[in-house]
A and B are shown apart, each in its own frame.
Chain A
Amino acid sequence: GQNIDQPTEMTATEGAIVQINCTYQTSGFNGLFWYQQHAGEAPTFLSYNVLDGLEEKGRFSSFLSRSKGYSYLLLKELQMKDSASYLCAVMDSNYQLIWGAGTKLIIKP
């Protein structure tokens, strides 16, 4: 079957670094997406990885290991506005997104 796992909730301190992990088992792989979703709002695109390695975009970086079925989202210099849910999604062989349940990130001052 298809499965995507990520922690339900994480807590971090303003100014610190946090890593949100995602493991997956899917039928086919056309890339892995990370989205951010603030409470009461729609998901918004953060990053896309299809090759192994690290993609850096400002304070956010995303890593992929296809052989391990593993990705992480790294958030640096945390700000209060980073308090949100972070959704991991894998695009399968039919170009459909398979979604994890999301990780709620709580930032404390």
Chain B
Amino acid sequence: IAGITQAPTSQILAAGRRMTLRCTQDMRHNAMYWYRQDLGLGLRLIHYSNTAGTTGKGEVPDGYSVSRANTDDFPLTLASAVPSQTSVYFCASREATGADTQYFGPGTRLTVL
């Protein structure tokens, strides 16, 4: 079934540890996004990529990095996790031929202790 997969589904992480959240899509979408969702704050954009080989910073990029080596994969790395990074992380993608729809992965629930 075509779509977006994320791994892991959930993770408990000690503060200071490095962690990479994985995101893969098989729809050949050009643009990909990483959001975090916290209660009462809605979805906030962390980083995005409009096409393979390019990335950009969103609203809350500090403490996170991304890469886009190919069309399908868009990993998000926390270099040194802090408790304020406890959140639900969603990866999304869109074809990017205009004002088209973003489709979301199932999310990763991350707890940093």
Give A residues with C-beta under 8 Å from B.
8, 30-31, 33, 41-45, 48, 50, 87, 89, 91, 95-97, 99-102
Contacts and interface: CB of A to CB of B under 8 A. Distances in A.
A91 B94 CA distance: 12
B42 A87 contact: yes
Interface residues of B, number: 20
Contacts of A42: 90, 104-107
Contact of B42 (A41, A45, A48, A99): A99
Contacts of B106: 41-42
Interface string B10-32: 00000000000000000000010
Interface of B is mostly: loop
A44 B41 contact: no
Interface of B: 31, 40-45, 48, 58, 90, 96, 98-99, 101-107
B104 A48 contact: no
